Structure 1
Amino acid sequence: MSPRHRYGSSQAATAVAVVADVLAAIIGLWILMYLLEANRANDLVQFVQDAARWLAGWSHDLFTFDVAWLRVVAGYGLAAVVYVFIGHLVAGRLRRY
């Protein structure tokens, strides 16, 4: 395999890992804002909440804990962990080729 091909795979792997980390960071930021009771009327808070809800749509309200903050941490946290896990798994596979 040529060094040029391997370098391109490495760049693609890095890009996939960075995108996965950014998506997880957005979700993590929303969890933090929720726990710190950020002002939901603020435009930044609203943007982060909307982005996190869209990214974690499949896991939002997946758990039915009685405590609201625990539902948010578990549901959104699961989505963040899955993004990081799958993103880095794909990145690792790309680096091998």
Structure 2
Amino acid sequence: MPTHTRVRTRGSNQAGRAVALVADMLALVIVLWILLYLLDANQGNELVAFVHDAASWLAGWSYDLFTFSREWVQVVIGYGLAAVVYVLVGHAVAGWLYRR
């Protein structure tokens, strides 16, 4: 097998791993916020506020997609949908890169 093909495959594998890792990290931030919210974490705490701000930015497109009368359901579904989409899309792109 020619060397340039092996290098390109290795690069594709590394890119795929990087994409999957970033997608997982984004989803982790969102899931962490959901847990902090459900556990009634002190929103005056700097770490909690940082996680909330990051998750709100990441899930800005999905949070108000559906409305529910209970706030905890709104948080779980609104943020959870974003986390699931990041994982699914990120891993789909990573799988495509692996096959290149």
TM-score w.r.t. the length of structure 1 is 0.97
Q: C-alpha separation between the residues in 1 aligned to 2:25 and 2:83?
A: 10
| 1:6 correspondence with 2:9 | yes
Among 84, 87, 96, the residue aligned to 2:87: 84
Letter of the 2:28 partner, please give it. Answer: A
Among 81, 91, 97, the residue aligned to 1:94: 97
Deviation at 1:50, TM superposition (A): 0.1
| 1:43 correspondence with 2:42 | no
Q: C-alpha separation between the residues in 1 aligned to 2:64 and 2:36?
A: 17
Q: C-alpha separation between the residues in 2 aligned to 1:79 and 1:55?
A: 7
Deviation at 1:14, TM superposition (A): 0.1
Q: C-alpha separation between the residues in 1 aligned to 2:69 and 2:63?
A: 15
Work out the number of aligned pairs and report it: 97
Indicate the percent of aligned positions where both proteins have the same amino acid. Answer: 63
The answer to whether the Cα contact below 8 Å between 1:61 and 1:75 also exists between their aligned partners in 2 is yes
Deviation at 1:62, TM superposition (A): 1.9
Q: C-alpha separation between the residues in 1 aligned to 2:64 and 2:41?
A: 20
Residue in 2 aligned with 1:17? Answer: 20
Deviation at 1:64, TM superposition (A): 1.2
Structure ID, larger Rg? 2
Deviation at 1:61, TM superposition (A): 2.2
Residue in 2 aligned with 1:57? Answer: 60
Residue in 2 aligned with 1:30? Answer: 33
Q: C-alpha separation between the residues in 2 aligned to 1:96 and 1:18?
A: 17
TM-score w.r.t. the length of structure 2 is 0.94
4+ residue runs of structure 1 moved beyond 3 angstroms? Answer: none
* Runs of 5+ unmatched residues, structure 2: none
* Runs of 5+ unmatched residues, structure 1: none
